[in-house]
Structure 1
């Protein structure tokens, strides 16, 4: 089968299309014919050697595709079923992948297979941040930084769905995009005083903030009221002396049951996945170059097989 293989750490050029053996499902696993795979900053970090992954490896943490085989009777999905999910720290940039069924969920009706592969990691991370870590409530004022990005655009929509007043940050070129997500107040996070701009809207500071990237975490703390909380899945950031703000670092639970529970908000159109760019499997180096530039709107996806 075709797969992107990383045989040495480095830049996007180390992503090479190779012929590799078909994976064999272990007991309880399913074999998925991959239709699409998401591309995120975690893929670039892994390719640079920052996760300590053993070489060689096939990149790709998330995908969508069709079940074509399973090992054992307890796999939970039938052959031909369209599924999507987080499959682990690699393997999705390939024609086929074997994975645990508890990481998969049926593809929501609102999503096509070609786009669904780009959703799981950021949707699960956004949902955990808004609902589990920050426990956002109706009527609260919530800050979402880098709200045009893969994680941010989903988190902003989830907070709006709860009934929160969302203040978002984004580069000025992305303000109209973020407004279309339903956010009324959008601030340019390239302005040095942007936390003060937030406090012009929320004078006491926001009740909670989700900082989606390392560069915005310390400023998100500055924009949050004493007694409030800032959640982030990214490293970096600090709380200045004298401030009573919680800084909560977390990782989203990457399980299929949560994805299945989130299906209704996708099918109802409450939360929409935005794809900014679509690349063929062999163009994975270009996809990584794009994601490393930053400033993307929504997600980037690889098209692997057309079903």
Structure 2
């Protein structure tokens, strides 16, 4: 097999492709032949050392593939099954060992590449609008990074729920992608004071919820966009971490709610994970959710994939394929 590994933390160039023996499969695990692996921000954090991992390390916490071998004490999975997974490192490879509990079945009429493209981003968008702050018909939401991987899916799902979607982007050339994803209004937050635009669109009322994956660059202004008792939902920090917040500030803006949401805190069992994955896959197959792939790289170009994701030029998912 071949896998991408890092022996030390550092820039993208520390990622190297090497040959390895096929890994052994322990009880409760399966060996999967990888069709595609998703490239996610957490991979960049692990490579750089912002998130500590045991070295040497093969990144890649999301993928899709075919089951080749099954360990002891595994039920409900058979050799040849088409599966996807997330939360287990090692996906930047031709083969990956995955705990059976982390597998979700991929429908027959969905490609494994599409499954790897949509799993984390789609499930994140789904939990944000159904569980973290359930959107209803007539609500107003502000979606930062509306042309990005999760942001674009959030726009699609929110618009289908009848919400008014105000999207922000960091560059004018991303505006068409945000509009195509379902945003009704799009603002370049680097060149336009987006709080004033939100107030204008809402007739001075403010948004019900802000979904923010940018962090430092948008957080403070985002709080001023909310109506009284509105919700600020942080789920990323592409622009850097947010400074500490005095709770009195939330009160002064109208008793606002603030949360930093993680999918794993809502889907704490394999059953919950499979249920949400099934809902996302069904939305894709029914045409309610469009998969948007920004770029596909071979394993040997993992460093270039990381550079592309870090550039914040992306308009969808980045994948690695064996």
TM-score by length of 1: 0.93
Quote the residue 2:168 is aligned against: 169
Number of aligned residue pairs: 303
- 2:275 counterpart of 1:273: no
d(CA) in 2 for partners of 1:93, 1:279: 11
Instruction: State the partner residue of 1:72.
Output: 72
Alignment of 1:208-227 (within 5 A): 208-214=209-215, 215-227=217-229
- Aligned counterparts, 1:106-125, within 5 A: 106-108=105-107, 111-125=110-124
SS in 2 for 1:46: helix
Q: Is 2:36 aligned against 1:18?
A: no
CA distance in 1, matches of 2:21, 2:87: 18
CA distance in 2, matches of 1:111, 1:147: 25
Structure-2 residue corresponding to 1:247: 258
CA contact (8 A) 1:232 1:250 kept: yes
Structure 1 gap ranges (5+): none
Give the distance between the partners of 1:180 and 1:135, measured in 2 at CA: 23
**Contact 1:63–1:117 under 8 Å retained in 2:** yes
List aligned pairs for 1:135-284, cutoff 5 A.
135-170=134-169, 171-202=171-202, 203-214=204-215, 215-234=217-236, 235-236=241-242, 238=245, 240=249, 242-243=252-253, 244-253=255-264, 255-284=273-302
* Cα shift at 1:95: 1.0
Tell me the CA shift for residue 261 of structure 1: 2.8
In 2, are the aligned partners of 1:64 and 1:83 still within 8 Å (CA)?
A: yes
Check the 8 A contact 1:84/1:105 in 2, yes or no: yes
CA offsets per residue over residues 201-221 of structure 1, 9 Å max, x none?
Answer: 012110111112213222222
Structure 2 contact 199–205 (Cα < 8 Å) conserved: yes
Distance 1:138 1:72 in 2: 48
CA deviation map 1:253-286 (0-9, x unaligned): 3633321232221111111120011101111011
Other structure's SS at 1:60 match: coil
| Contact 1:30 1:75 (C-alpha < 8 Å) held by counterparts | no
Deviation at 1:32, TM superposition (A): 0.9
Q: Is 1:96 aligned with 2:107?
A: no
- Write the distance in 2 (CA, Å) between the matches of 1:210 and 1:108: 30
* Residue aligned with 2:302, SS: helix
Contact 1:130 1:210 in 2 (8 A): no
Structure 1: distance between partners of 2:110 and 2:256: 38
Instruction: Provide structure 2 residue ranges, at least 5 long, that are not aligned to the other structure.
Output: 268-272
Q: Deviations over 1:98-137 (max 9, x none)?
A: 1122322222456422343232222222212111111111
Post-superposition offset of 1:248: 0.7
- Rounded to whole Å, the distance in 2 between the matches of 1:48 and 1:149 is 22
Report the CA distance between 1:190 and its aligned residue. Answer: 1.0
- Normalised by the length of structure 2, the TM-score is 0.89
Separation (CA, whole Å) in 2 of partners of 1:6 and 1:179:
38
